[in-house]
Amino acid sequence: MDRPVIRKDLAELAVRPNLEDYDEGCADFDWTEARRALAGLPGGGVNIAHEAVDRHADGPLADHEALRFVRADGSVRALTYAQLSREAGRFASVLRGLGIRRGERVYSLLGRRPELYAAVLGTLKHGAVFCPLFSAFGPEPVRQRMEIGSGRVLVTTRALYRKKVAPIRDALPELRHVLLVDGSGATDAAAEPGTLDLVTLLAEASDYGPTAATGPEDMALLHFTSGTTGRPKGAVHVHDAVTAHYATGRFALDLHPEDVYWCTADPGWVTGTSYGIIAPLVHGVTAIVDEEEMDADRWYRILAEQRVTVWYTAPTALRMLMKAGTERIAGYDLSALRFVASVGEPLNPEVVMWGQEAFGLPVHDNWWQTETGGIMISNYPAMDIRPGSMGRPLPGIEAGVLARDDAGAPVVRDGEAVLCEPDATGELALRPGWPSMFRGYLHEEERYRKCFAGGWYLTGDLARRDADGYFWFVGRGDDVIKSSGHLIGPFEVESCLLEHEAVAEAAVIGIPDEVAGEVVKAFVELKPGHEASDALRLELIGFTRKRLGPAVAPRLLDFAPALPKTRSGKILRRLLKARELGLPEGDTSTLEAGR
Ligand code: ATP
Ligand code: MG
């Protein structure tokens, strides 16, 4: 298949100040070298909070804006690195005062509020382990995840506590302290039995305190995966992960202190921590925090008014902006924007090209997982983009596509997994050993062990690698469709549907069929101004048949008002399939409301 390429003019890029130090290929890179770029703790060891704020607070960036919160009315409140460091210090002092020990787990159930950032950094400074939850979780998903991690402290709001935690409090004997960020004074908070008022505690706490002398392998973060496939998995990350946040922030996002950077990820998801907090702060940028939910006009206004230079978002958000129409951008000055990146789901080529039209910039896809802790494969800033490709592995990362046997397991010979030929589909795998790699699923050793075979970490995703080393996403292992001997990746079919002017979003699943094994069924959400009809159904099927051939094109197609998605914005194909086949829906705790 002929694939378009968006060429980058390196000569032109080189004159842009923020790409000056960009070294394509980064051939000399090694992780030891990257560690040297970090400060390290004065007495030895490494602590994420020290790298992210404390060292800046003692240096030339002390008065530089670290976080800029944008409120609903568009007004802003900023915290400098020095102020953020003091806030984090106060939170660490609160934990000390409460007798929380190193390694114990502090959870958050919070939106993007200033207290969240103090809590993450203060927890790490104290040497405790931070675990964010989606604030939209109901009581049971909260209970399950708090139980797995033996949460000692929970930081939340009064309303969320009442609705989601109070009903399950008795089932969490290890939860000692609930800290409310919106208690308006000790007396008032006392009205909520069993909670403490964080505002009062912070006001009374010292903003100065020791940073725990954590080592690189000490546990720092516990992140639950998105739950696209079911049962929650708690991925354990250590303080050395900051080395990867630093390197990927540089190579994949091109961050510099003069950048105004905006990551739109929910703070309950790994992206919210790795790239919403740690990577940008380590690089000394000014990070925008939008306290509100997604809305096309609001987002354009923030990009324009805050002069955002680097924007990190997700395919689902970009598709929503596409649906809203390019004309919505008119009137917003987005000239400060120099780099747009996306993560979380496959990025359809159509969306990359739309970025080029809408922003004058392509969207740079990058691939990673909760387990990898940081970006692994990316369309680097200075490399030619192949729309629809995830890009190439970052410096220090070795990725491969492993051949699979009939049962879908990697083929291993003499202890070493066999790699596929170029352009053949296999399981995407990574050589273990990068700093942000998860060190386990908490309390699930067997599940962790099963992620490795023949010298590789198995990602569970299927991909192809072309002869030039670009990786192409095919589908999640469990979403791939087998039809008449063909292996069909939902992404290819969905991307084709998206090329049709009527289609806003599409999801594709396999339906059992006596003859073919499975046939492809598509679910389509239409753009405004288009009506569902039998004629349009036939037209869309014909459209994909012409482009993909009858073996791959959907046989069946339904219109859906909204596709089911996780809170991190991923289409839940397994749920569509369960509903279609009348099977139990399984774990839907991360399902967005109303889907
Ligand atoms: P669970 O493991 O609980 O089922 P999940 O895999 O969706 O949930 P995450 O770790 O948040 O949880 O998501 C990682 C997955 O998201 C990847 O394995 C991949 O399937 C998908 N993904 C992320 N980025 C991309 C991308 N750029 N292109 C294609 N897929 C992506
Ligand atoms: Mg996963």
Say how many Å lie between the CA of residue 590 and the centre of ligand 2. 13
- Choice from 345, 458, 566 to test ligand 1 binding pocket (greatest atom count within 8 A of CB): 345
Q: Which residue has the tokens 């599940």?
A: 447
| Secondary structure of residue 410 in the 3-state scheme | strand
| Secondary structure of residue 515 in the 3-state scheme | coil
Q: What gap in Å lies between CA 130 and CA 110, rounded to an integer?
A: 13
Q: Which atom of ligand 1 is nearest to the CA of 228?
A: 4
Say how many Å lie between the CA of residue 344 and the centre of ligand 1. 6
Q: Integer distance in angstroms from the first to the last C-alpha of the chain?
A: 35
Which residue's CA is the closest to the ligand 1 atom numbered 13?
Answer: 369
Beta partners for residue 365, in sequence order: 342
Q: How many residues are given for the chain? A: 595
DSSP 8-state secondary structure symbol assigned to residue 70: E
Write down the pLDDT at residue 27: 60
Beta partners for residue 155, in sequence order: 108, 179
Q: Which residue has the tokens 């090209």?
A: 353
Distances (CA, A) of 507 to 190, 229, 285: 49, 15, 37
426 lines ligand 1 (CB under 6 A): no
Instruction: Indicate the pairing of strand 456-465 with strand 471-476.
Output: antiparallel
Q: Which numeric CATH code is attached to 481-581?
A: 3.30.300.30
Helix 490-498 and helix 534-548: axis angle, to 10°?
Answer: 120
Q: What gap in Å lies between CA 137 and CA 539, rounded to an integer?
A: 39
Helix 349-359 and helix 315-324: axis angle, to 10°?
Answer: 60
Q: Which residue has the tokens 């069924």?
A: 521
Distances (CA, A) of 327 to 321, 323, 332, 336: 10, 11, 10, 19
Say how many C-beta atoms besides its own lie within 10 A of residue 313's C-beta.
22
Distances (CA, A) of 311 to 246, 336, 341, 451, 531: 17, 11, 6, 32, 33
Distances (CA, A) of 357 to 112, 350, 361, 480: 31, 11, 7, 31
On the question of a common fold for 10-358 and 481-581, the answer reads no
CA pseudo-torsion sign 319, 324, 326, 330 = negative
DSSP 8-state secondary structure symbol assigned to residue 275: I
> Residue 390 CA: which ligand is closest?
1
Architecture of domain 10-358: 3-Layer(aba) Sandwich (3.40)
Q: What gap in Å lies between CA 234 and CA 221, rounded to an integer?
A: 10
**Amino acid identity, residue 145?**
R
- Choice from 148, 226, 492 to test ligand 1 binding pocket (greatest atom count within 8 A of CB): 226
Say how many C-beta atoms besides its own lie within 10 A of residue 533's C-beta.
10
pLDDT tens-place values along the chain, 595 residues long: 455 677 766 555 443 434 444 454 456 788 998 898 898 999 899 999 999 999 999 999 999 999 999 998 989 999 999 999 999 999 999 999 999 999 999 999 999 999 999 999 999 999 999 999 999 888 998 999 999 999 999 999 999 999 999 999 999 999 999 999 986 655 555 567 889 999 999 999 999 889 999 999 999 999 998 776 667 899 999 999 999 999 999 989 999 999 999 999 999 999 999 999 999 999 999 999 998 888 899 999 999 999 999 999 999 999 999 999 999 999 999 999 999 999 999 999 999 999 999 999 989 999 999 999 999 999 988 788 999 999 999 989 999 999 999 889 999 999 999 999 999 999 999 999 999 999 999 999 999 999 999 999 999 999 999 999 999 999 999 899 998 888 899 999 999 999 999 999 999 999 999 988 999 999 999 999 999 999 999 999 999 999 999 989 999 999 999 999 988 888 999 899 999 999 888 777 777 765 5
| Pair 401, 425: CB distance under 8 Å | yes
Q: Which atom of ligand 1 is nearest to the CA of 491?
A: 29
Residues 6+ apart with CB under 8 A from 258: 18, 285, 309
Cβ-in-10-Å burial (0-12, 13-18, 19+) of 364 comes to buried
Say how many Å lie between the CA of residue 574 and the centre of ligand 2. 13
Per-domain residue ranges of the chain: 10-358, 481-581
- What is the distance, to the nearest Å, from the Cα of residue 152 to the centroid of all Cα atoms in its chain? 25
Q: Which atom of ligand 1 is nearest to the CA of 476?
A: 20
Q: What gap in Å lies between CA 454 and CA 61, rounded to an integer?
A: 46
* Phi, psi angle pair for 413, to nearest 5°: -125, 130
Give the sheet arrangement for strand 129-133, strand by strand.
196-197, 177-180, 153-156, 105-109, 129-133, 219-224, 234-238
